[in-house]
């Protein structure tokens, strides 16, 4: 499930690099411009200094309809979360720009009722990873910039809980830290068209350490493997008119590294759950239109392919092809200060089929999210 929301976050974290006027430039420059998977080379677009902070408010509603070992019927997970973030960038010379950021890199949250028909499959799935990053860009020519970044991944929440028949609800949670790097390129093809390419390295089967609890038993040596896909994207930005621009991006996510989930040292021993994910492609389109010198309208579409075969798709972390639509606006409050608001709605396309471990049915996902952020730049 966290993989779905990792990319869902991205649909409304996008905008192009083309600006409409000097005032609109202040309002829209890098507004939610893939801030969670930022191209470090695009720091070269910073004039002097920029600080950007905000919150993602996200509300996923997930519903299972079908049959499990506990009976037939339906169960619903409905949660509300917010994910704060901040990015600070500073130009130190004509060639160099440096930035620091604290942003979420993966999120997924399900809470099924403990007395529901899916309780033996899952009661809680709670995944929240944050990236603490240092990035820099170097302007090689007037049209070409390269960037590089070093990041500490804080795997802050990783919890997978489920009911054990006759014993109660087993709580399994871990945390950990991992290192990843990112590189990027930004090339201005013409004054109105530019190319953006970036790559983030993976986290492959690193261990998170925590504890497993099934009262009265506690094991403080519990571990889970932590996987995060490598992510690469290529995008084109077009300024078709002084007021209208369009951006297209294709993301590749290397989820084939996720073969199994290893539960080591639970209160009942160790076991393995197969996943057998495959790599995915995501197609992202964003458009912006300046209605005044201080106000810009934003719209976007996302479609992502399905990473999981039906035989390993699970109620605890359901996946499917996914689509989302986005709309919002950016407005200049003062010459150096602007605010952005973006709303997004997404769902499985089609519904996620479940057929394993005695559970048969379908899962629907209706995910609403909003971003509210403020940007100050000079």
β-strand pairing of 322-332 with 269-274: unpaired
Q: What is the CATH number of the domain that holds 70?
A: 2.40.160.60
Task: Please write the tens of the pLDDT for every residue from 173-226.
Answer: 999 999 999 999 999 999 999 999 999 999 999 999 999 999 999 999 999 999
β-strand pairing of 81-91 with 96-111: antiparallel
pTM for this predicted structure: 0.90
β-strand pairing of 124-139 with 144-164: antiparallel
**pLDDT at residue 325 in the model:** 92
Domain count, the chain: 1
Distance of alpha carbon 282 from alpha carbon 321, whole angstroms: 10
Whether the Cβ atoms of residue 308 and residue 276 lie closer than 8 Å to each other: yes
Q: List, in order, residues 6 or more apart from 324 with CB less than 8 Å away.
A: 8, 11, 12, 301, 302, 344, 345, 346, 347, 367
**pLDDT at residue 278 in the model:** 94
**pLDDT at residue 36 in the model:** 80
* CA angle at 170 for the pair 164 and 173, rounded to the nearest 5°: 145
Integer angstrom CA distances of residue 87 from 5, 133, 135, 317, 339: 21, 9, 10, 30, 15
* CA angle at 173 for the pair 167 and 177, rounded to the nearest 5°: 165
Task: Please write the tens of the pLDDT for every residue from 285-299.
Answer: 999 999 998 999 999
Report, as ranges of residue numbers, the positions in the chain whose pLDDT lies below 50: 1-33
Integer angstrom CA distances of residue 212 from 218, 221, 222, 265: 6, 8, 6, 8
Give the residue numbers spanning the domain of 16. Answer: 2-377
């Amino acid at each position: 499930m966290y993989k779905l929301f990792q990319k869902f976050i991205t649909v409304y974290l996008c905008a192009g690099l083309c600006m409409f006027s000097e005032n609109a430039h202040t309002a829209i420059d890098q507004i939610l411009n893939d801030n969670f998977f930022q191209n470090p080379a695009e720091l070269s677009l910073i004039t002097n200094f920029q600080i950007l902070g905000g919150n993602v408010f996200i509300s996923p509603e997930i519903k299972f309809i079908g049959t499990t070992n506990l009976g037939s019927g339906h169960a619903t997970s409905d949660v509300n979360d917010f994910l704060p973030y901040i990015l600070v960038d500073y130009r130190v010379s004509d060639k160099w720009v440096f930035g620091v950021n604290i942003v979420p890199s993966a999120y997924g949250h399900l809470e099924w009722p403990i007395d529901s028909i899916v309780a033996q499959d899952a009661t809680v799935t709670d995944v929240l990873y944050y990236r603490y990053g240092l990035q820099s860009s170097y302007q090689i020519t007037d049209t070409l910039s390269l960037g590089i970044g070093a990041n500490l991944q804080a795997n802050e929440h990783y919890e997978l809980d489920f009911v054990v028949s006759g014993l109660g609800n087993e709580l399994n949670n871990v945390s950990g830290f991992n290192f990843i790097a990112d590189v990027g390129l930004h090339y201005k093809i013409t004054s109105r068209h530019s190319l953006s390419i970036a790559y983030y390295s993976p986290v492959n089967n690193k261990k998170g350490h925590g504890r497993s609890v099934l009262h009265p038993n506690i094991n403080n040596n519990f571990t889970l493997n932590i996987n995060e896909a490598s992510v690469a994207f290529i995008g084109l930005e077009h300024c078709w008119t002084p007021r209208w621009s369009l951006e297209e991006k294709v993301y590749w996510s290397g989820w084939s590294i996720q073969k199994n989930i290893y539960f080591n040292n639970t209160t009942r021993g160790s076991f393995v759950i197969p996943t057998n994910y495959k790599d995915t492609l995501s197609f992202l389109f964003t458009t912006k239109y300046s209605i005044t010198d201080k106000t810009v309208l934003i719209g976007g579409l996302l479609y992502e392919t399905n990473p999981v075969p039906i035989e390993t798709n699970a109620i605890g972390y359901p996946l499917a092809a996914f689509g989302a639509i986005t709309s919002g606006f950016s407005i200049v409050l003062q010459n150096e200060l602007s605010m952005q608001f973006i709303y997004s709605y997404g769902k499985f396309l089609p519904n996620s089929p479940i057929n394993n471990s005695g559970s048969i049915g379908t899962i629907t996902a209706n995910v609403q999210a909003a971003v509210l952020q403020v940007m100050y730049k000079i």
